[in-house]
Amino acid sequence: MIEGLSHMTFIVRDLERMTAILTGVFDAREVYSSGEETFSTAREKFFQVGGLWIAIMEGEPLPSRTYNHVAFKIQDSEFEAYEARIKAHGLEIRRPRERVSGEGRSIYFYDSDNHLFELYTGTLAERLERYAKGNGA
């Protein structure tokens, strides 16, 4: 039986660059660094973000950008502050998709390894409730 999410791993060219993004944008707490040792397939670091385990490993970045992404929940009142953090790190913000009102707001941004992240103000329950009303609502 699946108990929940164990961890997410992102392959990155530069561990220190991604460390700055995770700590500066997501308030991640670094809990492990392999240094020059390799216990897995490459040098790696582990972080905690809102109770989630995020691993980064040194390697070749994704060859292209897609809409595949990981979304993190934020409060709507913090939207502008997070947007400023992302801009301060020089990260590319992707234009959000068209939305219906009441669906929540999103900030989509890419890291330098073509990973797409989303900071989202809504919840699944809110989205389902809004979609149940149809397009005319």
Please report, for the chain, the start and end positions of each structural domain, with discontinuous segments joined by +.
Answer: 1-60, 61-137
What confidence score (pLDDT) does residue 97 get? Answer: 79
Q: Which CATH architecture has domain 61-137?
A: Roll (3.10)
Could you count the other beta carbons within 10 Å of the beta carbon of residue 17?
Answer: 15
pLDDT over 90, % of the chain: 71
- The most distant pair of C-alpha atoms in the chain lies apart, rounded to whole Å, by 58
pLDDT at 136 over 70: no
Average pLDDT over residues 65-92: 96
Q: 114 pLDDT band (50/70/90 cuts)?
A: very high
126 has pLDDT over 70: yes
Active site residues: 44
| % residues pLDDT > 70 (the chain) | 99
- 109-131 burial, b at 16+ Cβ within 10 Å, e below that, comes to bbbbbebbbbbbbbeeeebeebe
Q: How far apart are CA 23 and CA 29, in angstroms?
A: 7
Listed in sequence order, the DSSP H helices in the chain are: 15-26, 79-88, 124-132
In angstroms, rounded to a whole number, what is the distance separating the alpha carbons of residues 57 and 111? Answer: 14
Please state the pTM of the whole predicted model.
0.88
Q: What is the pLDDT of residues 18-52, one digit of tens each?
A: 999 999 999 999 999 998 888 888 999 999 999 99
- CATH 2.30.130.10 is right for the domain spanning 1-60: no
